[in-house]
Structure 1
Amino acid sequence: MDTIDSSDVRRRIQAVHDTMYVLSGKWKISILASLCFGVKRFSEILRDVDGISGKVLSRELKDMEMNLLIKRTVLNTHPVTIQYEITEYCDMLIPIIHNLSEWGIKHRKKIIER
């Protein structure tokens, strides 16, 4: 077996820690999962993410925009329409979110079948 460089292990653990810091909280992964299905308006995300309040969704979207995970677009309509979408930078998270979803489906089934 190859020897693992301890500095590489620490670097990778720090990277996981950084990722979890950006994605932490009860709602971010669910919001990103909603946006994995395409561009959405605030009300559509609010409907998709069961249990989140409008105030919390607004705060989470601002934080995610600041971290370059989502893009907010204001359309010149009457009334004004605001759309949210995953950024190109965030595209790498889509397979991770898909894998989390698949694991969650299998886990729920396994626990219910016990």
Structure 2
Amino acid sequence: MGENKKNTIKCNLASVIHVIHILKGKWIFNIWIEISNGNNHFGTLLRSLPGLNPRSLAHSLKTLEKENIIIKETNSLSQQSTYNLTEKGKSLKCIFTDMNIWADKYA
């Protein structure tokens, strides 16, 4: 019986559901990948993700900003905005890597 207690996964279900809620957007993962690969301008993101429309991109970027996964920085001279991963956003890499490993094995 002691063995079962050692194998019990302890997690805060509300926290896990919150993460799933954040990442469930159709384009969120793809946008995260593009920004992590250096495609960090609105137009570049739009061109690199065929099928994504400007309204959906803007909504997804706002969601990622609100959740502090990305930060929008605007150059005061050119008024051009760039999107970069925050430390919180960079930390998602391990989650996505683990999900990829799991998918390769079981999906």
TM-score (norm 2): 0.78
- Partners of 2:5 and 2:99 lie apart in 1 by 30
Equivalent residue number for residue 18 of structure 1: 18
Equivalent residue number for residue 33 of structure 1: 33
- Partners of 1:60 and 1:28 lie apart in 2 by 6
Question: Which is bigger in relative contact order (C-alpha 8 A, separation at least 6)?
Answer: 1
Q: CA deviation at 1:17?
A: 1.1
Q: CA deviation at 1:5?
A: 9.1
Is there any run of 5+ residues in structure 1 with no aligned partner, and where?
A: none
Q: CA deviation at 1:2?
A: 3.9
Equivalent residue number for residue 8 of structure 1: 10
- Partners of 1:6 and 1:73 lie apart in 2 by 43
Q: What RMSD, in angstroms, separates the aligned Cα atoms of the two structures?
A: 2.8
Q: How many residues align?
A: 104
Q: Per the alignment, in what secondary structure is the counterpart of residue 3 of structure 1?
A: helix
Q: Map 1:5-84 onto structure 2 (within 5 A).
A: 8-9=10-11, 11=12, 13-38=13-38, 40-78=40-78, 80-84=79-83
Is there any run of 5+ residues in structure 2 with no aligned partner, and where?
A: none
Q: What amino acid maps onto 1:8 in structure 2?
A: K
**Contact residue 33 and residue 97 of structure 1 kept, 8 A:** no
Identity %: 21
